[in-house]
């Protein structure tokens, strides 16, 4: 039985560019893809916990998969991916996909290199995927404007932040407090440390929260969706009437 993933997992899914066709890219020899599905592993730097591995496996063949084991570059077992915790992705005109995510605390001296996943199928067959991890620390975005707890500011035309060392791409999330904290905007992948706000998105008298996800790469053939990512603390601001 599926267990509902908590809120942070939903955000993780939003951060990941979920591939549309594993088979097509597998034919192109991307090591993250197998006929059984897509494997990726990242190092994440979040404000509310120590750095951790985020391990992901997505597949349309979820009824056929027995389990997924992840290994360090030297062959030692890292951890299995939890097959009881997943999110369902439904796409118009395409098969339903299940996305399995497991977070594991980073060890004191994490090794760099090619991490490997072994996907075991219920028919006894196996598939192998790989993802290369480079070890470094991705700082969180700072200098966010509007700044934390800015109150009754003029209606902003953009959100901005200081460039993050090592980051080439960003994604912004915005929530509306007056709509029960509902997420009202998720940006496309940005190449600059600023977001031009869509007209009419924010309203006078509104109260909003936002944060920035920084990533080093985007859909890299060796490093996957991204290698290292960081998430800024949530910033609250209100707009004057």
**Domain extents for the chain?**
7-133, 150-239
Burial of 59 (0-12, 13-18, 19+ CB in 10 A): buried
Alpha-carbon gap, residue 100 to 3, rounded angstroms: 11
Inform me whether the pLDDT recorded for 134 exceeds 70. yes
Its pTM stands at 0.77
Predicted local distance difference test score (pLDDT) of residue 136: 81
Query: Is residue 197 within 8 Å of 156, Cβ to Cβ?
Result: yes
What are the pLDDT digits (tens) for 38-66?
A: 999 988 999 989 999 999 999 999 999 99
Average pLDDT over residues 184-197: 95
Q: Which CATH number among 2.60.40, 2.20.25, 3.40.50, 3.10.20 corresponds to the domain 150-239?
A: 2.60.40
Q: 85 Cβ partners below 8 Å, 6+ apart? A: 2, 3, 5, 9, 100, 101, 102
Inform me whether the pLDDT recorded for 15 exceeds 90. no
Average pLDDT over residues 133-156: 93
> Which CATH number is associated with domain 7-133?
2.60.40
């Amino acid at each position: 039985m599926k267990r509902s993933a908590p809120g942070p997992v939903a955000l993780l899914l939003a951060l990941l560019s979920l591939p549309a066709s594993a088979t097509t890219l597998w034919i192109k020899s991307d090591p993250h893809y197998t006929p059984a599905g897509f494997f990726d592993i990242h190092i994440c730097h979040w404000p509310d916990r120590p750095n951790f591995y985020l391990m992901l496996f997505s597949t349309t063949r979820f009824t056929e998969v027995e389990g997924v084991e992840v290994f360090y570059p030297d062959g030692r077992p890292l951890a299995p991916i939890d097959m009881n915790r997943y999110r369902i992705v439904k796409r118009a005109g395409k098969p339903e996909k299940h996305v399995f995510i497991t977070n594991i605390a980073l060890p004191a001296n994490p090794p760099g290199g090619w991490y490997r996943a072994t996907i075991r199928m219920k028919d006894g067959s196996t598939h192998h995927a790989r993802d290369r991890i480079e070890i470094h620390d991705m700082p969180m975005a700072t200098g966010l404007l509007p700044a934390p707890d800015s109150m009754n500011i003029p209606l902003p035309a953009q959100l901005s932040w200081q460039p993050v060392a090592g980051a080439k791409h960003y994604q912004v999330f915005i929530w509306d407090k007056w709509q029960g904290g509902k997420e009202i905007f998720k940006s496309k992948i940005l190449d600059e440390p600023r977001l031009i706000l869509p007209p009419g998105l924010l309203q006078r008298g509104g109260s909003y929260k936002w944060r920035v996800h920084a990533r080093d790469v985007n859909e890299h053939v060796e490093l996957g969706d991204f290698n290292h990512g960081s998430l800024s603390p949530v910033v609250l601001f209100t707009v004057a009437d």
